[in-house]
Homo-oligomer: A and B are copies of this chain.
């Protein structure tokens, strides 16, 4: 009965958009495993990180300009529900010795892999009890990290970054608060920029939503323009190493399909093994129409971690 109600709601409110699948369903294990990178693979699209990919990025470093894409980490920043970043500066320790050396350091208590500008590893998400390459939750999870798919396997990302400015395509600084970005939108934005994606690129979507960070954090977290499942499926076909955006969930929130909860996270991390990069600060890139650049991201090598807060840069 409840299911019927869901379906009716769906028919009324979320009528299919042309060119988009109406609703996404997680593929069964057999359909998605082994991954195209091999049955034992833990790196997914991270396998793109080869010298030729790096050199392609290096070609774009022409002026030496560095643009920071990461948010400052502090206890009052915007968080997904239930996450924290607590920082306690320890008492200054005066070391022995005639040189009167005092040392300072701080304790941080945080879901450090999933706060601020953050990079998602594959241990972060499941479809039921199954993760990327059909690793099973109860076989790879422990109380102190994952034995497979942890962020320590990723290494630094150095690749061509492409800003797909959907806000600019629509002629606005900021997309409407629950705007569902479609595959067509992405293609139109790229066409407007006269660009195409290449395998191994970092696809960075500008929604303009990031302008709310630190200004109206409550709204920033509650709703956001972002990708639909259909847009994510199209992006995944372009074979990027990662997909990023200036919002928290990459997915539009709420999803236009009321039965779905952030399918983009599953499409990227579980089905296709493509990393995500969230809460990016994209205002400088967008304002400067810097649509192509070298992206450098250095996830912390947290053993068994589901992700890492990061301080990525664009170099051009």
| Chain B residues with CB below 8 A from A106, complex form | 111-113, 145, 302, 304-306
- Nearest-neighbor residue (CB-CB) of A109 within chain B: B109
For chain A, give the interface size range: 35 or more
Q: Is A160 an interface residue (CB 8 A)?
A: no
Q: Do the beta carbons of B126 and A302 come within 8 Å of each other?
A: no
| Chain B residues with CB below 8 A from A99, complex form | 24-26, 127, 259-261, 263, 266
Query: What is the bound-complex CA distance between A311 and B306, given in angstroms?
Result: 16
Q: Is A66 an interface residue (CB 8 A)?
A: yes
Min C-beta distance of A293 to chain B, whole Å? 13
Q: Do the beta carbons of A124 and B142 come within 8 Å of each other?
A: no
| Chain B residues with CB below 8 A from A31, complex form | none
| Chain B residues with CB below 8 A from A315, complex form | 54, 58, 158
| Chain B residues with CB below 8 A from A296, complex form | 156, 158, 296, 298
Query: What is the bound-complex CA distance between A88 and B107, given in angstroms?
Result: 8
- Determine, out of A14-22, A89-97, A162-170, A175-183, the stretch whose residues face the partner at the interface: A89-97
Q: Is A73 an interface residue (CB 8 A)?
A: yes
- Nearest-neighbor residue (CB-CB) of A155 within chain B: B68
Min C-beta distance of A128 to chain B, whole Å? 4
Give the residues from 30 to 66 in chain A that come closer than 8 angstroms, CB to CB, to chain B. Answer: 49-55, 58, 61, 63-66
Q: Is A237 an interface residue (CB 8 A)?
A: no
Min C-beta distance of A153 to chain B, whole Å? 10
Q: Do the beta carbons of A64 and B58 come within 8 Å of each other?
A: yes
| Chain B residues with CB below 8 A from A107, complex form | 88, 107, 109-111
| Chain B residues with CB below 8 A from A306, complex form | 89, 104-106
Known contacts: A124-B104, A298-B311, A307-B105. The answer to whether A54 contacts B72 by CB under 8 A is: no
Min C-beta distance of A82 to chain B, whole Å? 6
- Nearest-neighbor residue (CB-CB) of A115 within chain B: B105
Given pairs A99-B259, A104-B123, 11 additional interface contacts (CB within 8 A): A55-B63, A70-B300, A71-B301, A73-B152, A73-B303, A75-B144, A88-B144, A89-B304, A100-B126, A102-B129, A296-B296
14 residue pairs bridging A and B, Cβ less than 8 Å apart: A54-B315, A71-B301, A88-B90, A89-B143, A90-B143, A95-B262, A99-B261, A101-B266, A102-B137, A104-B126, A105-B113, A106-B305, A108-B109, A297-B298
